[in-house]
Structures are given as structure tokens and as C-alpha cells.
Structure 1
Amino acid sequence: MRLLAFGDSFLLGVGDPYHLGWIGRTVLGRTDVTLYNLGVRRETSGDIAARWRREASSRMASHEPLRLVFSFGCNDCVLEDAGLRVGPADTLKNTQMILAEAAALAPTLMVGPPPVVDPLHRARVASVGDALGIVAGQLGVPYIDVFTALRQAETWEAEAAAGDGAHPGADAYQQMADLVMSHPAWRAFTSDDRSVQAH
């Protein structure tokens, strides 16, 4: 199985001394999975919309099942030059376009954005995350909310605060990976059941 993951610095695992992030930890020990971590720092939904299809095309193979994972949103909510980097309406438009195209290509799943330390930024991320879940649901794409659990997690908060205010360390990334792996949608999504692969 080829697992292509597109997103931002949280997907990439910035702050993790082992450079696994949460996505790397979800497939540890799975020799049946080839992971392509295609996270890029500071990228917004618009950046990912502009590149994901091109980058996916060079990593697909007809003889192997394909899965597509997306995880973004925090950077859209960053205030820059007295405005948001990406407004909520455009974030939803980008997400709808990304997920609709991806779901037509292969089984697709979205993991919502995690919390950050700054309370105002965090509130914006919470609002965007809720909206992303609605868009995914409308398209029939499984959505895993990690924000709700992680905003109450002392490990995530402490590690992010000790770092740059956003990115945690190894223990917190493991915590996020555990949340994802324990979700029924993830277990079905990464199974080798041919009925799941059919699309």
C-alpha cells in the first residue's frame, strides 16, 4: 500500500527529534505500507491545493493500493499583515476542491488541525477544524478530529509551549498518532481489505 500524506509542519513533524511526526508513528512496523510524508512548513490549504495532484501522480503505481491523507488548517488561521493568511471561506473552498478530487482518485481521509498555544490562534483553528469536518462529511470523506482531545492534553500543551508555541516533541506527536490510530476510520482506511481499496 502506498500512503501519500499532504499537509503542513504538523504532518512533517517539526519539533520531533526523531523526525517521525504523528504520521510516521501510525505506520511504524508496517512493512506493507510505503509512506510518503509530503508535509511542508507554513503551507496553507491553497498551497496544498496547488501541488498535491502533481506530487501524487509521480508516486502512484497501478500494482499497489493507494491511500491519500490530508491534514492542514493551522497556517490558514495565522494573522499576517493585519489579516488571515487564508480567509475561512477560501479555506473551505480549497478543502472542498482537494477532497473531492482526491476521493475520486483513491480512498481519502482527513485529519483535522491540532491546537496551538496562543489562545486567539487556537480559537480560530478550532472554528476552522469544525468547518473542515463538515466539508469532509458532505463529501463522504472520513474526518478525524484531534483538536478536541489535544487541547485538554497536558503533554501537548507543555511540549508546544517549551518549543515554538505550536510544534510539540516526540511524546505529544505519539499522543496524536494514538488518537488517529484508535479511530475506526483510520483502521478501516489502512486495512488491506480489497473492498476498502475499491474505488
Structure 2
Amino acid sequence: MSGTPMTDAAGNEFTPSASFSSDEGRRDVSLVFIGDSFVAGVGDEKALGWTGRVLARTTLTDAVLAHYNLGLRGETSGGLSQRWQSEGTLRFRDATERRLVVQVGHADVTAGTSIARHRLNLANVLDEAASQGVGTFVVGPPPTADPVTNDALSQLVDAQRDVCDRRGVMFVDTFTPSSATTSGRRTSPPPPTASTPARRATASSRGWCSTTAGVTGSPDPKSGPP
């Protein structure tokens, strides 16, 4: 493992993993998806969600991939920061490569979680994961049909992007590409058809190849908030 020394939220210095090694050329990858109802695939008629669609498009050569969906309806960043290790540890056991994909946001808006608290919760997850050699990938929340909610989500997405940029973590914005076709054009939320998670899967596929291939950046952390 290699990388630039960083400091987690508790002030402990660690060196994040920028690469993984494998025995005899075979990769043993444990991939954990954790987050809210969008990760769980709630409302998808095909019961795949965007995670299932992305995995169906993913081909790894000389690798054994074990994937786990830990999506929880109504999950907040605070709840996720508390449970990712307890639930993830069981799935990461004995794997030579450990990957964590995070998507959260809507429940934080509903719960009135401040941007500062959301940033801290996400930063804690990413820092703790990096200190344990777990590669991370963050997918931003998609927009809704409610302009007020979208205003809050827009700020949250910007915060997520900044937190990830400071740590060299891949971030996929599903909000901005979709908001133009969502805002102001519907009077009610879209029906839970397969097309919605399919679009999220397409957006989330960007950067996916480099992440599953083990290419993760670890630039110098920037100064400023988490």
C-alpha cells in the first residue's frame, strides 16, 4: 500500500491505500454498497436498482468479486457513519481488495441535517475507510420533483464533491445531469419504474472502471473543513 500521509477526524495519521496487491495474480475483491433507498433499489420494478445494473456491466479479469448491498431506506449520513464498519467488516473479511461505495443525502435533507454535519459524517467514513485500507467511491443523490428539496440537495452535492476532492476520492454527480429534466417539469415524483435507476446506473458507471481496476488517487489533502 502506498499514498500520502493524512490525518483522520480523530487526529490520527495514516497512509491511505492507493493500490492493492494480489496473490498469484488473482484478485479477491469485496465490494460493499452502503446508503439509502437508492442503493437498496426501492421502487425498482426489476428489483435491480442502479447497483445491480452497474454490476451487470462490470467485467473483471482474473478476479473473484463478492458484492454486498447494504442499502437501508431512510438512511442518514449519521446512521451510515455508525454502521458501515460493523456491517462492512463482516463482508471485508479475508478479501485482498476491499471497496466501499457510498450514496446518501435525501434523508439528511428530510431530517434537517446541517451541511457542516453532513460533511463531517461523510469525511469520517472516508477517512476511517482509508485508514483501514478500504478504497472508497461516492455517488451523489439524484434530484426530486420538489424545487425546495432540490435547492437543499444542490448544496449537499457541492459539499460531497468538495469532501471527496480533498481526499482524492472518486465522486459521481447524479444530481446535476438529471436536475435540468426534473426541475419544473413534474408536479409529482416520477413513478418507480426501472428507467430511473437505469439512468442512475449510467451516470454511476463513469469512473467505475478505474475504481474497480484498483486505480485510486491520493493527492495531498487540502486545507479547510472536512
Q: Is the contact made by 1:9 and 1:41 (CA closer than 8 Å) also made in structure 2? A: yes
Unaligned runs of 5+ in 1: none
Pick from 171, 189, 199 the counterpart of residue 211 of structure 2: 189
Per the normalisation by structure 2, the TM-score is 0.73
Q: Does 1:179 align with 2:203?
A: yes
- Counterpart CA distance in 1 for 2:58 and 2:149 is 36
Q: Which among 131, 137, 142 is matched to residue 165 of structure 2?
A: 137
After TM superposition, the structure 1 = structure 2 runs for residues 1-199 of structure 1, keeping only pairs within 5 Å, are 1-28=29-56, 30=58, 32-78=64-110, 84=112, 86-105=113-132, 106-153=134-181, 161-163=189-191, 168-181=192-205, 183=206, 185-191=207-213
- RMSD of the alignment, in Å? 2.0
| C-alpha deviation, 1:66, in angstroms | 1.6
Structure number having the greater helix percentage: 1
**Whose Rg is larger?**
2
CA–CA distance in 1 between the matches of 2:30 and 2:193?
26
Shift of residue 130, structure 1, vs aligned partner = 0.7
Query: How far apart, CA to CA, are the structure 1 residues paired with 2:201 and 2:95?
Result: 28
**Separation in structure 1 between the aligned mates of residue 138 and residue 85 of structure 2, nearest angstrom:** 16
Counterpart residue type for residue 208 of structure 2: W
Change in 2 beyond 3 A, CA 1:124/1:63: closer
Distance 2:147 2:181 in 1: 15
**Per-residue deviation at 1:61?**
3.0
Aligned-pair identity in percent equals: 33
Query: Matched residue pairs, number?
Result: 180
Q: C-alpha displacement at 1:64, in angstroms?
A: 3.8
The answer as to whether partners of 2:30 and 2:95 remain within 8 angstroms in 1 is: no
Instruction: Tell me which amino acid in the other structure corresponds to 1:68.
Output: L
CA 1:123–1:140: 2 relative to 1, 3 Å: same
Uncovered stretches (5+) of structure 2, i.e. residues with no partner: 1-28, 217-226
For residues 29 and 143 of structure 1, do their structure 2 counterparts lie closer, same or farther at Cα, with a shift above 3 Å needed? closer
Alpha-carbon distance between aligned partners in 2 of 1:129 and 1:162, rounded to the nearest angstrom = 21
Contact 1:109 1:142 in 2 (8 A): yes
Deviation of the 1:162 alpha carbon: 3.9
Are 2:145 and 2:190, in contact at CA under 8 Å, matched by a contact in 1?
A: no
Distance in 2 between residues matched to 1:104 and 1:144, nearest whole Å: 22
